[in-house]
Amino acid sequence: MGAKTENHAPLESEDLAVGYHVKGQPDRLVAKDLNLQLVPGEFVCLLGPNGVGKSTLIRTLAGMQDPLRGCIQISGSKVSDMNAKERARSVSVVLTDSLPHGMFDGYSVVALGRHPHTSWTGGLGAEDKRKINWALEAVGATPLARRQISELSDGERQKIMIARALAQETNIMLLDEPTAFLDLPRRVELMRTLRDLARKERLCILLSTHDLDLALRSADRLWLLTGEGRLTTGMPEELALQGEIARTFASDEVDWDAEQGAFRMHPETCSMVSLEGTGHALVWTRRALTRIGYEVVENGQIPELRIRIEGESRWMVSYKETRLSFDSLGSLVEGLLNFRPAKAGKTL
């Protein structure tokens, strides 16, 4: 094989085009002109709307699917020239559609990750066992090690699959939506774990996700795949500043809120309200008002409808001559919904 590691990133692609050969039809091109690099220590999140080709790209980079054009190199060697065992020593892959079922315990599934390193008998040595235990611990799956896979939840099985990839001890990890089955705290934990692993162990980790907020907060670099099969890469904050994130996910339903770094639904009405208050009560009142269709304005414009939060637990509403007081956010929202005319754009 003759690997040439000098001046080569652990994984790089040159003029890569990914997609599908469809019998009797022209090739289905998903993305093209991809000149990509994964560098050690970087945690990269791949983002893009449904169906743009995130899974296709990950499978192709992993050597599980042939490119339509171009080439992929792992530490200077063409993926297409590597056999399965050589690839498995360099790249581990976690796919969402491959959660294991059957009569194994968690430990045995993670132990399969050692396959590229064990002899033909598959016997586990002390170093293999140490690595398996480390991998289980790294993703918080030690309590699942002795449980039957068939009895685990989807989220628990997903943790086992990530531990298996870690046990494989590769310097490149490719994960397709590994947070899909996890609740929010577990998603945050997993993203942090993977980011820390990338940094500490100098791994290249590429992960596809729909969790834009979490990706913006934890990735060192984003790969943004657009509907036109174009891929833009950069630091999350830079891509946000350049408007690339807003463009990639542009839709009739949502607007990119550059200040909050998140998308928000279009307001359904144009009624304006001024809001005064402090702390968390202010933040959550603003969100509730936006959700029910108000445009919340700060100082400057003074609409007829005004809300002042007193002491984080009393909401004072004034509208023309009317004065109302509410002692919870729920009752304020209910009051406004009942009070307001149904049609957009009308005043109270």
Ligand X SMILES: Nc1ncnc2c1ncn2[C@@H]1O[C@H](COP(=O)(O)OP(=O)(O)OP(=O)(O)O)[C@@H](O)[C@H]1O
Contact between 51 and ligand X per CB under 6 A: yes
Q: Residue 55 or 179: which CB sits closer to ligand X?
A: 55
* Residue 304 per-residue DSSP state: S
Q: Which stretch binds ligand X (CB under 6 A): 44-52, 154-162, 256-264, 283-291?
A: 44-52
Query: What mask of x and - would describe binding to ligand X in positions 256 to 295, judged by CB under 6 A?
Result: ----------------------------------------
What SS3 class is residue 48? coil
56 binds ligand X (CB under 6 A): yes
> Partners of 262 in the beta sheet?
257
Q: How far is the CB of 113 from ligand X (least distance, A)?
A: 24
Q: How far apart are CA 73 and CA 15, in angstroms?
A: 12
Contact with ligand X (CB under 6 A): which of 50, 98, 119, 299?
A: 50
Question: Can you tell me which of 10, 48, 63, 277 binds ligand X, judged by CB under 6 A?
Answer: 48
Name which position in 10, 53, 106, 277 contacts ligand X (CB under 6 A): 53
Between 187 and 340, name the residue whose CB sits nearer to ligand X: 187
User: Considering the rule CB under 6 A, would residue 52 count as an interface residue with ligand X?
Assistant: yes
Least spacing, CB of residue 57 vs ligand X, in Å: 7
| Residues in contact with 298: Cβ distance below 8 Å, sequence separation at least 6, in sequence order | 274, 275
Considering the complex, state which of residue 54 and residue 114 has its C-beta at the smaller distance from ligand X. 54
Which residue's entry shows tokens 């064990």?
118
| One-letter amino acid for residue 265 of the chain | M
Q: Are 301 and 273 in contact (CB under 8 A)?
A: no
What is the rounded CA–CA span in Å between residue 257 and residue 122? Answer: 53
Q: Total number of residues binding ligand X (CB under 6 A)?
A: 12
Task: Out of 12, 16, 54, 224, name the contact with ligand X by CB under 6 A.
Answer: 54
CB contact at 8 A, 54 and 215: no
Instruction: State the angle between helix axes of 329-339 and 279-291 in degrees (0 to 180), rounded to the nearest 10.
Output: 30
Q: Applying CB under 6 A, does 67 fall inside the site for ligand X?
A: no
Phi-psi region of 75 (alpha: psi -120 to 50; beta: other; left: phi over 0): left
Strands (DSSP E) contained in 48-125 are 69-74, 77-78, 91-94
Q: Which stretch binds ligand X (CB under 6 A): 54-62, 159-167, 238-246, 270-278?
A: 54-62
Interface of this chain with ligand X, residues 17 to 36, rule: CB under 6 A: 20, 22, 28, 30
* Cβ atoms of residues 106 and 144 within 8 Å: yes
Interaction between residue 178 and ligand X (CB under 6 A) = no
Q: Which of 131, 126, 132 has the alpha carbon at shortest distance from 146?
A: 132
Q: What part of residues 129-168 is at the interface with ligand X (CB under 6 A)?
A: none
Look at the alpha carbons of 87, 88, 94, 98 in this order and tell me if their dihedral is positive or negative.
Answer: positive
The distance of closest approach from Cβ of residue 236 to ligand X in the complex, given in angstroms and rounded to an integer, is 19
Residues in contact with ligand X by the rule CB under 6 A: 20, 22, 28, 30, 48, 50-56
